Structure 1
Amino acid sequence: MQQYAILISPSANRVYARTAARMAANEIRVFSAHALDGAIVDVEETVFGGVPYLVFCSDSLTARDFRLLANLSSLYALFAVRGSMLEPVGIERLDRYDDDLISILKYVGKTNEQFTKLLLNVTAATALAPDRILGGGVKVLDPMCGRGTTLNQAAMYGWDGFGVEVDKRDFESYSAFVQRWLKDKRLKHHAVTSRVKREGRAVGQRTRVEFAATKERHRAGDLQVLEFVNADTLRSGEVFKRASFDLIVTDAPYGVQHAAVKDTRALTRRPTEVLEAAIPIWSELLRPGGAIGLSWNLFTTARADLAAMLEDAGLEVMDSGPFLDFEHRVDQAINRDLIVARKPR
């Protein structure tokens, strides 16, 4: 059986870097179980020439499988192990744009980009067939999108990203960033900002941007969409139609830097209450067979409680194997984990 070695990408976040190999190992296990028919085995950390690597074995990986694995969140380089030698394996990522779309925007409370990519990856692998992941046309919602890290990662993959954000400053900052970035890259695009109304009542302000990675794609009508709304996440069901999204992915409030606004418009720092109210609304927006991926602070909400909320909303929680080993410390006030739940077909 052929052994492969992954050189883990260096992380700008030193805390996350300490757990990156374990996180990546579990990401690979999710891909293997849900997208690769169990083709990968014996995932473990090892050292070659004093450099740490993540290794795994497989004797049945196809070109399509390697295209999937090329998008692992912490993959820097891939090698086939040949005795004591490492033979580089060419990788073809989904990325359509320069990576500064993900990295250039810096602000307090921004989720680590590698973790955002991991959360999107494991949610997609759980819900979507490999050809669907690679083929595009996927619609992703982040109902607490902040300044758009998840939306930008979806755009990198050629997918459509939609978001809801209650903080007007974040909404305006992200709107300005996206349009400036597209202009700087000289990418053809069209942006419209408008009011969202339902039954004569204002729900929020919306920015919709349509764009393409190349002039050829634009002429062919192969457009991507980034659409985000300044509104309370509890009004997401008024903003978007039911069963609109393949994936819902969000980094939930930690109860530290983040907060959320409830229907009373009173500011709360009780993330559990926000999730309890929001998850049924989000579930209605998910297509049958789609999946929700959430990350959250274990210091504010127990995993069992969050799993119960998802199950009460009619979702099937992934609660075995690698899904139970993504917990990691962010700082002294945040112990982060992720959970994925699928909507029955």
Structure 2
Amino acid sequence: MPQYAILVYPSANRVYTDSSPGLLRAELSVFGAALSAELTDVGEDTIGGVGYVVFSTAEPLTALDIALLSNLSSLYALFEYTHSERGEETLRPVTISPLASFDSDLLTIQKYPGKTNELFTKLLFNVTLLSTASPLAMLEQPLHVLDPLCGRGTTLNQALMYGFHATGLDVDGKDFEAYEQFVKTYLRTKRVKHTAESGQVRRNKVRLGRRLDVEFGLTKEQYKAGETRKLTYLNCDTLTADDLLKANSVDVIVTDAPYGVQHGSHRTQDASLARSPRDLLAAAIPVWTRVLRPGGAIGISWNTYVTKREELVEILARAGLDVCEGGPFEDFSHRVDQAIVRDLVVARKPA
């Protein structure tokens, strides 16, 4: 039975580094459902004094399997792993081919208080993509990703890294301005062919907020041929998502639920909605679901100290979504700091 070993990416965040092997095991198990061969014996081992996440498969990994696994959030290197009865251990490197339309600094260059760890954002992104009705679509076509609470754009940047189309909503004007400046500067510095336009969002002569529309080519040749990607940031209330986006137009929704008042909705007179992430999600998830394609998935990370898992599962179910439960989906909880224990939940819209 073929065996493999994953060298875990060293995160700059010590707390996340401690959690990474366990999170990678759970993520790998979700990936396993899309592999051509059965995944078994997922665990951890020490090889040459270094920790690895190890696993076995019923058959050797195919080229498509390797292409898929190349995108594991904390994968630094992949090896074929053999060990003899005499105790000799051998690691043979496997060439990986991650989706990477830009340099890694697209994800790491932004530094600000409260930024979600980019490795965790990628993990949440991956688990959501693999929970759709077409998990291999991430390798086959440019999907449309929505982050309806996008802040300064960590999820949007991950979507761009994968070569996808991305839309974000957030009510915080400072976050909108910071991301607008960042993405324009980044694309210009990297000499990426693009256009960027800013303007107002209006419906029925009512101003809802501001917008940034960016269109770019992954290569100069693709840009000239009209094979472009689109990025839209709407500085608007998340409860207007179904007014601003077409129904059934988004392939996946990926978002980090808020921990504070800054993400509260301005569209309601209920003051508790501005304070409670649970109430915000209860109001927003039905709105988001309307723009999600049948067969698409929504992935949400949140602080378990402010909302219980069963409450969030109930909200998703009431919106008509099928929640992914059991197995690895119960193994993503991890400590961020004294006030935050983060978990994720994923649900699919029936096809």
What's the TM-score once normalised by structure 2's chain length?
A: 0.95
**Cα root mean square deviation, aligned:** 1.4
Alignment of 1:184-203 (within 5 A): 184-203=189-208
Quick one: which amino acid aligns to residue 8 of structure 1?
A: V
Q: Unaligned regions of 5+ residues in structure 1, if any?
A: none
Q: Aligned in 2, Cα 1:292/1:110: closer, same or farther, shift over 3 Å? A: same
Q: Distance in 2 between matches of 1:110 and 1:161?
A: 19
SS of match in other structure, 2:202: strand
- Within the candidate set 182, 186, 204, 2:187 is matched to 182
In structure 2, what is the equivalent of residue 212 of structure 1?
Answer: 217
Are the equivalent residues in 1 in contact too, given 2:131–2:348 (CA < 8 A)? yes
Distance 2:42 2:20 in 1: 14
Secondary structure at the aligned position of 2:325 is classed as coil
Q: Following TM superposition, by how much is the alpha carbon of 1:136 offset from its aligned partner in structure 2, in angstroms?
A: 2.6
Offset at 1:42? 0.9
User: Structure 1 residue 290 and structure 2 residue 289: aligned?
Assistant: no
Q: What is the alpha-carbon distance in structure 2 between the residues aligned to residue 60 and residue 344 of structure 1?
A: 33
How do 1:293-308 and structure 2 match up within 5 A?
Answer: 293-308=299-314
Residue 46 of structure 1 is matched in structure 2 by: 45
Question: Post-superposition shift, 1:268?
Answer: 2.2
Q: Distance in 1 between matches of 2:64 and 2:181?
A: 37
Aligned to 1:36: 35
- Give structure 2 stretches of 5+ with no counterpart: 84-88
Q: Structure 2 matches for 1:195-344, cutoff 5 A?
A: 195-255=200-260, 258-264=262-268, 268-344=274-350
Shift of 1:212: 1.2
How far apart, in 2, do the equivalents of 1:114 and 1:190 lie?
29
Q: Is the Cα contact below 8 Å between 1:327 and 1:338 reproduced in 2?
A: yes
Equivalent in the alignment of 2:65: 65
Task: Return the alpha-carbon distance in structure 2 between the equivalents of residues 156 and 251 of structure 1.
Answer: 18
Q: Is the 1:203–1:238 contact (alpha carbons within 8 Å) kept by the matching residues of 2?
A: no
Provide runs of 4+ in structure 1 moved above 3 Å: 264-267
Picking from 140, 143, 168, the partner of 2:145 is: 140
Out of 294-303 and 126-135, give the one that drifted further: 126-135
Structure 1 residue 105 and structure 2 residue 110: aligned?
yes
Aligned residues: 343
Letter in 2 for 1:51: V
Q: CA deviation at 1:82?
A: 2.7
Structure 1 position 270, deviation (Å): 1.0
Q: Is the 8 A contact 2:247 2:290 kept in 1?
A: yes
- Pairwise CA distance, 1:308: 0.3
